[in-house]
């Protein structure tokens, strides 16, 4: 692994490289399972989820209505556009093959 000086210093500050510049091998990857004593209980999980959901900034009723209207108008516009393009192309192909 070729690293420049700046990258090596950054990795050493993060604790991923030793003072000799070699990677520290004791670090576990994100795929490694936690030991059983560190796992959370279902009750603790639900508590943490509720705490995180309290931090969410939910849109107001008027914002939700405005966004829904924008989505519906865009949906109708693109549906109509695709229909018109499809119809024009299909009519062109039919006329091309019916010409004698």
Average pLDDT, the chain: 85
Q: What is the DSSP string of the chain?
A: ----HHHHHHHHHTTSB-TTSPBPTTPPPTTSPPPGGGPPPHHHHHHHHHHHHHH--PPPHHHHHHHHHHHHHHHHHHHHHHHHHHHHHHHHHHHHHH--
> Tell me, what's the pLDDT at 19?
73
Q: pLDDT above 70 covers what percent of the chain?
A: 84
pTM of the model: 0.47
Q: Is the pLDDT of residue 23 over 70?
A: yes
């Amino acid at each position: 692994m070729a690293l420049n000086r700046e990258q090596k210093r950054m990795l050493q500050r993060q604790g991923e490289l030793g003072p000799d510049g070699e990677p520290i091998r004791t670090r576990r990857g994100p795929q490694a399972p936690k030991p059983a004593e560190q796992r959370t209980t279902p009750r603790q999980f639900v508590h943490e989820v509720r705490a995180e959901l309290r931090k969410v900034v939910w849109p107001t009723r008027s914002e939700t209505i405005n966004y829904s209207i924008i989505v519906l108008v865009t949906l109708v516009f693109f549906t109509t556009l695709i229909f018109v393009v499809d119809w024009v192309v299909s009519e062109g192909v039919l006329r091309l093959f019916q010409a004698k």
